Each structure stands twice: as structure tokens, then as C-alpha cells.
């Protein structure tokens, strides 16, 4: 039995949540995956997994073994990176995750510029507004908006995103300009996905505007505001160009301005590969400046 191969198979099964999902991830036959896990259990003389019809659960011994196996596999991966020169020259695949709208508008132009300067690096981009598990998804660097939970990850602050309250001139002419949050109850709201930016400015349920449009995409929400369908509370990187052009008017500037921190997040177990360090060193000052420029628009 190849114990390293069996460890990697076990990790795939645990990370994916089932034997069948693990086999799909590994592109290996399900009987082969099941056999390797069983052989590993026989070699150790203990059960690592409790198999059910739908998923798997780790035993106490399995949890301890998985923790050790991850460390071993990571150490071998680091040794291979050293041998291949990734600690001498920036090269190899870099996996990054970015928020959807923010990534497209603010991060990816800088990332593509980075690629043009580093021809030996390729980038795999995972777009998600959720906080993806960096270990399970093998993410090298995550760009995240919002307050970070306590964790063992490293985080470099690059600035803030401000939430603006805006509406079109046509809407404000029709419905009036609210002078305080207490007047919002007589207005229509545009909401973006699950981001309830209205709570930070409302003064209770009776002052919450009625939701006219609910969009899961920032551009769609902004378009609704441009059409005069309601008041939008959206990040400045979406609204600024329209505020500058006069297509949208910022209102309630002095009431409960909301800022969300932006961080570059990464794991640091041993030496960082040069591809990761180079990306962090490239992205940090440029994204920080882009956020400053956006805030000053």
C-alpha cells in the first residue's frame, strides 16, 4: 500500500464529504477509492470513517489522523515546490478567490497586470461572495470584504469600501428627498442580495423603506436605481461613476456612513512560495491605491 497516496485519497474523501464525491474529485473509480481507505484503516488497525448512505463522518481517531495527514501532505508539497524552483523563481499556478463584483471591477485588472509581468505564473480565479475555506479549496490568496472572523490566517489590510445611499434625480423629484433616516419609510428600496445595508441607517422597522427591487448582482441593483425604481445602498465602487455623472444623487451623507474593511488573506505554513509572495507584494499597494482613488471619486 502506498501510504501517501492513501492519505491523499482520504483527504479528498473527507474534504468532499463522501466517497463518491471524493472519487469524482480524484477522477478515480469509486471502488478504488473505497479500497484504499479500507486498506489504510486495516494498516492502522482502527476505523477512520463512519460511512452512511449519504455521507461520511470522522471517528475520533480519524480526526486526529486527518490533522496529521494534512501536515504531512503539505510538507511534501512544500518540498516539491522547493525542488521545482518555486522558492527561487515565481512560477506555478496561483489560486485566488475574490468577491464577485468587487473582483471584476477592482481586483482582476491588477491581477491581470501582475500576470503580464510574471509569465511563469498562471492564475486560477474562484469568484465567490462567501468566505471560502482556504485549506479545503487550496486557495493561496483571498481578497475579502467585511469584518474577518478570528482565525489562524494572516490578513493584510488594504483599505475600506464605503456604502453610499443614492437615487436618481427622477425618483427624488417624484418621491421627494429624504432629509433624515426617519423619512425613509415613505420610500422604495433596492436591496443587493443578502447584504442588508439598510439596517445601519434605519431607525427601526417603521422607518425601513419598502423593498421594490431585490437583486443578487450589484450591476443589476445599480441599473434599478438608474431607472428610478428606488433608493439604493451600494458600495462606492459600483455607484461612484454614476454619482460623478449626475445620473445618481447621493443622499443622507451625514447619517450612519458604513465602511467595510478590505483584506488580503492567506495561510502561512512555512515559507511562502515566491508566486504567492510576489502576488501579495504586487496586489497590496496597488489595491490600496485603487481603493483610495475610488473613495476620492
- Categorise residue 187: left if φ over 0, alpha if ψ from -120 to 50, beta otherwise: beta
Report pLDDT for 86. 55
CATH assignment at residue 77: 1.10.10.10
Report pLDDT for 270. 60
Please give the DSSP secondary-structure letter assigned to residue 272: P
Q: Return the C-alpha cell found at 266.
A: 492567506
| pLDDT confidence band for 197 (50 / 70 / 90) | confident
- Greater confidence (268 vs 260) lies with 260
List Cβ neighbours of 181 (8 Å cut-off, separation of 6 or more): 201, 202, 203, 207, 252, 255, 256
| 99 and 225 both lie in a single domain | no
Q: pLDDT tens, 138-150?
A: 899 999 998 887 6
| 16 and 148 both lie in a single domain | no
CA distance 109 to 259: 23
| 167 and 255 both lie in a single domain | yes
Q: pLDDT tens, 104-133?
A: 999 999 999 999 999 999 999 999 888 888
Mean pLDDT of 25-39: 87
Find the helix or strand (DSSP H, E) in which 22 lies: helix 19-26
Q: Which domain covers residue 56, as residue numbers? A: 3-84
Cα dist from 282 to 110, 118, 274, whole Å? 8, 11, 12
| 187 and 47 both lie in a single domain | no
| 101 and 57 both lie in a single domain | no
Domain count, the chain: 3
| pLDDT confidence band for 194 (50 / 70 / 90) | low
| 249 and 170 both lie in a single domain | yes
| 79 and 100 both lie in a single domain | no
Widest CA span of the chain, in angstroms?
76
Q: Which of 112, 100, 133 is nearest to 265 (CA)?
A: 133
Report pLDDT for 115. 94
> pTM higher than 0.85 for the full model?
no
| 79 and 21 both lie in a single domain | yes
**Which of residues 64, 84, 104 is at a domain's end?**
84
Is pLDDT at 217 greater than 90 in this prediction?
no
| 150 and 284 both lie in a single domain | yes
Report pLDDT for 57. 85
- Categorise residue 271: left if φ over 0, alpha if ψ from -120 to 50, beta otherwise: beta
Mean pLDDT of 57-83: 80
Q: pLDDT tens, 78-107?
A: 677 666 665 567 788 999 999 988 999 999
Mean pLDDT of 190-197: 76
| 60 and 206 both lie in a single domain | no
187 Cα distance to chain centroid: 32
| 276 and 252 both lie in a single domain | no
Is pLDDT at 225 greater than 90 in this prediction?
yes
| 116 and 183 both lie in a single domain | no
Return mean pLDDT, the chain.
Answer: 86
Find the helix or strand (DSSP H, E) in which 282 lies: helix 274-295
CATH assignment at residue 251: 3.40.190.10
Amino acid at each position: 500500500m502506498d501510504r501517501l497516496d492513501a492519505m491523499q485519497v482520504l483527504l479528498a474523501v473527507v474534504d468532499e464529504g463522501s466517497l463518491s464525491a471524493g472519487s469524482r474529485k480524484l477522477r478515480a473509480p469509486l471502488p478504488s477509492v473505497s479500497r484504499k481507505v479500507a486498506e489504510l484503516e486495516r494498516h492502522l488497525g482502527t476505523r477512520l470513517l463512519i460511512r452512511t448512505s449519504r455521507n461520511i463522518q470522522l471517528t475520533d481517531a480519524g480526526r486526529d489522523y486527518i490533522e496529521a495527514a494534512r501536515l504531512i501532505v503539505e510538507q511534501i508539497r512544500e518540498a516539491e515546490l522547493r525542488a521545482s524552483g518555486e522558492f527561487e523563481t515565481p512560477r506555478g499556478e496561483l489560486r485566488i478567490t475574490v468577491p464577485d463584483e468587487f473582483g471584476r471591477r477592482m481586483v482582476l485588472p491588477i491581477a491581470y497586470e501582475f500576470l503580464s509581468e510574471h509569465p511563469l505564473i498562471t492564475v486560477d480565479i474562484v469568484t465567490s461572495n462567501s468566505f471560502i475555506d482556504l485549506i479545503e479549496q487550496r486557495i493561496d490568496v483571498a481578497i475579502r470584504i467585511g469584518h474577518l472572523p478570528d482565525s489562524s490566517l494572516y490578513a493584510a489590510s488594504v483599505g475600506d469600501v464605503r456604502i453610499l445611499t443614492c437615487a436618481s434625480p427622477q425618483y427624488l423629484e417624484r418621491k421627494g428627498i429624504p432629509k433624515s433616516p426617519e423619512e425613509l419609510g415613505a420610500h422604495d428600496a433596492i436591496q443587493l442580495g443578502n447584504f442588508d445595508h439598510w439596517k445601519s441607517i434605519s431607525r427601526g422597522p417603521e422607518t425601513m423603506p419598502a423593498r421594490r427591487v431585490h437583486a443578487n448582482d450589484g450591476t443589476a441593483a445599480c441599473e434599478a436605481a438608474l431607472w428610478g425604481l428606488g433608493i439604493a445602498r451600494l458600495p462606492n465602487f459600483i455607484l461612484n461613476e454614476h454619482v460623478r455623472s449626475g445620473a445618481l444623487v447621493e443622499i443622507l451623507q451625514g447619517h450612519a456612513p458604513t465602511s467595510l474593511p478590505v483584506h488580503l488573506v492567506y495561510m502561512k505554513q512555512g515559507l511562502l512560495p515566491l508566486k504567492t509572495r510576489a502576488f501579495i507584494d504586487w496586489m497590496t499597494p496597488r489595491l490600496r491605491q485603487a481603493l483610495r482613488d475610488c473613495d476620492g471619486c
